[in-house]
Structure 1
Amino acid sequence: MLWLFCFIDRANIGNARIAGMDDSLELRGYDYNFILSCFYIPYILLEMPATILCKRIGPGWFIPTTALLFGICSFATAFVKTRAQMCALRFLLGVFEAGMLPGIAYYLSCWYKRAELAFRLSLYLVMSPLAGAFGGILASGILRLGHFGSLTQWRMIFGIEGIITIALSVLSYATLTDRPETAIWLSSEEKYLCKLRLKLEHAGQTEAINTIDRAKLWRGVMNPITLSTAVVFLFSNITVQGLGVFLPTIISTIYPEASTIQRQLYSVPPYIVGALFDVFVPALSWKLDRRQIFIVISTPTIIVGYILFLASHSTTVRYVACYLIASTAFVAGPLSSAQVSANVASDTSRTSAIATNVLFGNIGGLVSSWTYLVKDAPDYTIGNGLNLACAFMQLVVSLGTLLWLRRDNKKREGRNVVQDLAGLDKQEIEYLDWKHPLHALCGDNPMQLKATTKGNGRGATELLLAAIKGYLPIAKQLLELGAEIDAPRADTPGRTALEGAAEHGGLGMVQFLLENGAQTFGDGVWQYY
């Protein structure tokens, strides 16, 4: 609900525009586009600092506080008298909303595993298209009131929606918690399980809660998947933010004879279609444990939609194009955030990866504020052409990322974990982050961990090699990642990790394997008395 009204408070300026805001504030030429840009400048610049602050103080305090502040800004917008005042409040709105999207994405990544995250992200990002639909319905209902206290016309939209946001933010102080370990509604066993589920996916990580490490921040930013996915989200968000702010204006050019309330309502159905796809596609992604391929295949419908806008002047065709574009335009939001989160290991690098993705996306939002210009009306050839080019680039970059992922994972499958980590201490292994040889990058065909098959070209398993060399931390990580503790060599029967430990690895390794359920020794069963 917080994200719903976060997006409404950002996009309701589009509803206010067709309700008389331009005439009331005497906006001319590019004034409207300039006002939109005032929001995105602080939104982009403060994205990373706000996300780091969210990790530092905890999402349970950070998210409600930012929601309260941007709700106050939205309410105050109802009382502006000049363009300068509107610009100032849009600037402050950008300041306070900067950490909301990456903050919630980071918060959910503290609870859910890789495969689960995309669908969970979609359950809150679906509020983006629903904000367009609900915002249109709410705006039409508000305009029927006639007045709200001293507020009339478009001012009521900002005033009433701002009050709702403030109320929700106050309520969220009592409902949000920082992370599973501090959730009062979970038992101690459930808290431990939540923590363990995530730890098993991130090899070598022992990071303390609420700590910031610059090296890990940089790891998250410079991950190739973070950067390529962020570029995809940049192109995608040009379309998404353009839809959020300009769809009521586009509808006005398709149905110029319709009343203001009818235009508000015409914008609702495309958003509803977008909301349905925004849940369905990530749900399918969750079931199949694939993300990148769905980012790729969600793009063609957007391309077709903008081609129809450019090729036809038919009212029906152009309105159908709105549905095609809205259907999959919003999908990249949850999928991209889930993808960058899944492809880093530590909590800190996950924070910076999500922030980088959202930062690039909001650069796209800034561009979107200048895609539909007054001089380009009513066909908006420039805006539709730019969005078509962006959709094509989204397809090219996402497809290239998919192919790179397949290639990189194939290379990782042939690596020898024990040799790669030999000589590294615990901190050095932790700083490897996504470069850790057991960290599989998540593409269309995630790396199949070779923890139970050949490790050195002679048939030995990775666990056997670790046992022979006495590398206890590596053996522990292999078991956490699903290595079969009694898996024999591939080329000769018998030889298990327990036998290797008994011969070469030392008493500590033998005891560790026995405590973790090892039984097979040679060709028989090891009896531990």
Structure 2
Amino acid sequence: MAKAHSENLETASADIEKHSGHNLHGAAERGFVATDRHGESLVQFNPEAERKLRNKLDYMIVPTVSILYLFCFIDRANIGNARLAGFETDLGLVGYDYNTVLSIFYVSYIVFEIPSNLACKWIGPGWFLPAISLGFGISSLGTAFVHTKSAACGVRFVLGAFEAGMMPGISYYLSRWYRRSELTFRLSLFIVMAPLAGAFGGLLASGILKLDHFGSLHSWRMIFGIEGIITIGLSIISFFTLTDRPETARWLTQEEKDLAIARVKSERMAQASVLDKPDKQKLWLGFWNPVVLSTAFVFLLNNITVQGLSFFTPTIVGTIYPMKSTIEKQLYTVPPYVVGAVFVLGLSLGSWRFDRRTIFIVATAPLTMLGYILFLASDEARVRYAAAFLAATSTFALGPLANAQTSAAVVSDTSRSMAIGSNVMFGNIGGLIATWSYLPSDGPDYKIGNGINLAAASLILIVSTGQLLWMSWDNKRRNGLDIDSELEGMTQTEIESLEWKHPGFRWRP
């Protein structure tokens, strides 16, 4: 057996001896599969070498995408803060006009979701993510100069088109670098920016509104102007700091590049390369997958609450504390998001340690349900404010869990780009529903909106529990298959294209 990089390779086992090319370097190359027919890795790694590499990836990869996503979410949700500062009044919005402006964003978001993620694979995340970040920064800046409902709808449509590729693109990007068990926590490190955007966005908005003007901009226009310029600056920097894939990472040694590629490849059953060429069969199976579709439906339900909180928390806080000043109302929106951020990281860390996702998705539902029960049951300001904490506690955590689960439910890179894109597309259908969940006629208690969110959380509990039971049943069925006879007569290309239908594949709850 070749001895290249042997310090990162532990005792090889009989399988590696039999396949002499399957050392660390061989497993990183195209043309070599890194698993046997049962999906077991043919390569074992030194845990200490993996830990050092993982730490390096965490320092070099995660901060850039996290900061980009932070301002992506701020640029999406700052319209809620602008509403408190006179956005509706200045644009002459009445009745359901505000909901229309919100929903037009999701029309383009949904339409461009899957195409954006396929473009991300084709162009490469290192260029694609900074480019769309620049686009939504410019779009956010443009919102500062709108004067009519039509103009606001137009700029929000463009913003949605650029932001469509952000969450699925980053999720897909991180799957190029991390193992299945590691991915949930790394996804949480950028998705936690959603609740932090709510907290930081409120603080930033309150600080901006203390200014007399910013150039020719006043009041709510300063929020879009200043935050848009910050996003533009960060996106330009990311063109130089975001590394596309391990092979192009100048900050990794050749030994570390081989280890980074081989680690990911060791979990991709029967795949001869980590970054495969797009294939129609793999694209279809990335979408037509029972776990991907059920998880995507759960994510749709979850986003009714996540996006509803983002857009309407300032409004809800305003109804709880109507006598507070605008800046005080902005500041009251911050604490629930901070608590939500803590739980995002905590639940995702547990998912990493146990290499489980669905069971944690099941666990997110009860607290959200309790929060909306309190919203519906009480008129007391303190109780309703506490309910906002309960709703934020677990609802944001489902983002990294759902994206990690769809990533774990497929095998190839091509299927993964489709699966994650599909998941986030469904999620933003939930966002579209959220824009019409809190209507002016339903205020100030918003019983319909809160009832919709209670129903969504209840369905999450039912569907995710059902998914957990089905995966257990199907794994038992697969255990009774004779893998060798099932694969008999197939070529390597045909075996690769089986994806999750490979008899050796097992669902990982």
1:210 Cα offset (Å): 6.2
1:209 aligns with 2:275: yes
Q: Partner residue of 1:428?
A: 494
Are the counterparts in 1 of residues 285 and 499 from structure 2 also a CA contact under 8 Å? yes
Are the counterparts in 1 of residues 371 and 390 from structure 2 also a CA contact under 8 Å? yes
1:176 Cα offset (Å): 0.6
Matches within 5 A, 1:38-57: 38-57=104-123
1:437 Cα offset (Å): 2.1
Are the counterparts in 2 of residues 376 and 382 from structure 1 also a CA contact under 8 Å? yes
Q: Cα deviation per residue 1:113-139 (whole Å; 9 max; x = unaligned)?
A: 110000000000000000000000000
1:207 Cα offset (Å): 4.3
Match of 2:191 among 110, 125, 129: 125
Are the counterparts in 1 of residues 261 and 274 from structure 2 also a CA contact under 8 Å? no
Distance in 1 separating the partners of 2:455 and 2:275: 43
Q: Partner residue of 1:373?
A: 439
1:319 aligns with 2:385: yes
Output the amino acid matched with 2:266: L
Distance in 2 separating the partners of 1:111 and 1:410: 31
Matches within 5 A, 1:112-151: 112-151=178-217
Output the amino acid matched with 1:126: V
1:90 Cα offset (Å): 0.3
Match of 1:200 among 249, 255, 266: 266
Q: Cα deviation per residue 1:464-488 (whole Å; 9 max; x = unaligned)?
A: xxxxxxxxxxxxxxxxxxxxxxxxx
Unaligned runs of 5+ in 1: 444-529
Output the amino acid matched with 1:370: W
Asked which structure has the greater CA Rg, the reply is 1
Are the counterparts in 2 of residues 202 and 439 from structure 1 also a CA contact under 8 Å? no
Distance in 1 separating the partners of 2:371 and 2:431: 20
TM-score normalized by structure 2?
0.86
Output the amino acid matched with 1:141: G
Q: Partner residue of 1:302?
A: 368
Count of residues paired in the alignment = 443
Identity among equivalent pairs (%): 60
Distance in 2 separating the partners of 1:208 and 1:389: 40
Distance in 2 separating the partners of 1:438 and 1:188: 32
Q: Structure 2 vs 1, CA of residues 54 and 350 (structure 1 numbering), >3 Å: closer, same or farther?
A: same
Distance in 2 separating the partners of 1:258 and 1:303: 28
Matches within 5 A, 1:252-263: 252-263=318-329
Are the counterparts in 1 of residues 374 and 384 from structure 2 also a CA contact under 8 Å? yes
Q: Cα deviation per residue 1:229-255 (whole Å; 9 max; x = unaligned)?
A: 000000000000000111000000000
Q: Cα deviation per residue 1:481-515 (whole Å; 9 max; x = unaligned)?
A: xxxxxxxxxxxxxxxxxxxxxxxxxxxxxxxxxxx
Match of 1:285 among 351, 375, 384: 351
1:211 Cα offset (Å): 2.4
Secondary structure of residue in 1 paired with 2:277: coil
1:423 Cα offset (Å): 1.1
Secondary structure of residue in 1 paired with 2:268: coil
Are the counterparts in 1 of residues 75 and 224 from structure 2 also a CA contact under 8 Å? yes
Q: Cα deviation per residue 1:254-292 (whole Å; 9 max; x = unaligned)?
A: 000000000000000000000000111000110011100
Distance in 1 separating the partners of 2:179 and 2:409: 12
Q: Partner residue of 1:275?
A: 341
1:14 Cα offset (Å): 0.1
Q: Structure 2 vs 1, CA of residues 101 and 430 (structure 1 numbering), >3 Å: closer, same or farther?
A: same
Matches within 5 A, 1:339-418: 339-418=405-484
Are the counterparts in 2 of residues 73 and 162 from structure 1 also a CA contact under 8 Å? yes
1:31 aligns with 2:97: yes
Secondary structure of residue in 2 paired with 1:353: helix
Distance in 2 separating the partners of 1:424 and 1:349: 20
Q: Partner residue of 2:247?
A: 181
Distance in 2 separating the partners of 1:291 and 1:194: 23
Distance in 1 separating the partners of 2:141 and 2:430: 26
Q: Partner residue of 2:50?
A: none
Matches within 5 A, 1:322-337: 322-337=388-403
Distance in 2 separating the partners of 1:409 and 1:332: 24
Secondary structure of residue in 2 paired with 1:147: coil
Output the amino acid matched with 2:129: I
Distance in 2 separating the partners of 1:379 and 1:60: 46
Secondary structure of residue in 1 paired with 2:243: coil
Q: Partner residue of 2:296?
A: 230
Distance in 2 separating the partners of 1:353 and 1:203: 17
Q: Cα deviation per residue 1:13-71 (whole Å; 9 max; x = unaligned)?
A: 00000001111111100000000011000100110000000000000000000000100
1:64 aligns with 2:150: no
Secondary structure of residue in 1 paired with 2:506: coil
Q: Cα deviation per residue 1:420-449 (whole Å; 9 max; x = unaligned)?
A: 111111111011111112222111xxxxxx
Structure 1 consecutive aligned stretches of length 4 or more whose deviation exceeds 4 Å: none
Are the counterparts in 1 of residues 317 and 332 from structure 2 also a CA contact under 8 Å? yes
Distance in 1 separating the partners of 2:439 and 2:430: 16
Output the amino acid matched with 2:501: K
Are the counterparts in 2 of residues 58 and 210 from structure 1 also a CA contact under 8 Å? no
Distance in 1 separating the partners of 2:216 and 2:422: 43
Match of 1:19 among 77, 85, 88: 85
Secondary structure of residue in 1 paired with 2:481: coil
TM-score normalized by structure 1?
0.83
Q: Cα deviation per residue 1:75-131 (whole Å; 9 max; x = unaligned)?
A: 111111111110100000001111111000000000111100000000000000000
Secondary structure of residue in 1 paired with 2:85: helix
Match of 1:96 among 150, 158, 162: 162
Match of 2:316 among 250, 256, 279: 250
Are the counterparts in 1 of residues 276 and 412 from structure 2 also a CA contact under 8 Å? no
Distance in 1 separating the partners of 2:309 and 2:289: 30
Output the amino acid matched with 2:135: L
Distance in 1 separating the partners of 2:104 and 2:150: 10
Are the counterparts in 2 of residues 57 and 210 from structure 1 also a CA contact under 8 Å? no
Distance in 1 separating the partners of 2:323 and 2:178: 49
Are the counterparts in 2 of residues 233 and 332 from structure 1 also a CA contact under 8 Å? yes
Q: Structure 2 vs 1, CA of residues 109 and 368 (structure 1 numbering), >3 Å: closer, same or farther?
A: same
Are the counterparts in 1 of residues 209 and 220 from structure 2 also a CA contact under 8 Å? yes
Q: Partner residue of 1:264?
A: 330
Output the amino acid matched with 1:209: L
Are the counterparts in 2 of residues 55 and 210 from structure 1 also a CA contact under 8 Å? no
1:164 aligns with 2:227: no
Output the amino acid matched with 1:55: K
Distance in 2 separating the partners of 1:247 and 1:162: 22
Distance in 2 separating the partners of 1:182 and 1:369: 41
Distance in 1 separating the partners of 2:451 and 2:274: 48
Distance in 1 separating the partners of 2:289 and 2:352: 23
Output the amino acid matched with 1:151: L
Q: Partner residue of 1:220?
A: 286
